[in-house]
Amino acid sequence: MKASVINQNSENEKLIRELYRIAEEQDTQGFVGLFAEDGYFWDVSAGTKYYGQDIGKTVDVYATAFPDMHRELYDLYVLENENTVVVELSLNGTHNGPLQLPSGTIPATNKTMQTPCCDVFKIENGKIKSFHCYTAATILLGQLGVF
């Protein structure tokens, strides 16, 4: 995993790296546990915000659709004075299960994806206050043969 980091080894960076590690393990409750009580996850491309236990739905949805899901982190930008972390990454996996989206379900295509993504986190008191996920949905759908 190659990553460029500003302000390496900060607590905010460690928190976000832990979030990705937990997502890789498909630990839904661990994932949700890193969010502030009033925190949220916004799947921008799907137009859906998740709060509370619903934050974990995204981990479950992608684990079902892509059991071998791997997030390759390219660059991390940690802005301590703003409690902000920005991550450029790709979402990688084989579409071996149904992909349940707010607009409908895509049956397994057995195709692989390597989809660009940018995540923006705001952190408050050691917890994630907001997670805005900008997945390149048109690329993802194209790789799955939807287009």
Q: What is the pLDDT of residues 1-53, one digit of tens each?
A: 444 445 456 999 999 999 999 999 999 999 999 999 999 999 999 999 999 99
What pLDDT is recorded for position 31? Answer: 98
Q: Does domain 4-144 have CATH number 3.10.450.50?
A: yes
Q: Which pTM value belongs to this model?
A: 0.90
Q: Cβ contacts of residue 99 below 8 Å, gap of 6+? A: 61, 64, 65, 66, 105, 106, 108, 144
- For residue 138, what pLDDT is reported? 93
> Does the pLDDT of residue 99 top 80, yes or no?
yes
Q: Where do the structural domains in the chain lie, given as residue ranges?
A: 4-144
What percent of the chain shows pLDDT beyond 70? 94
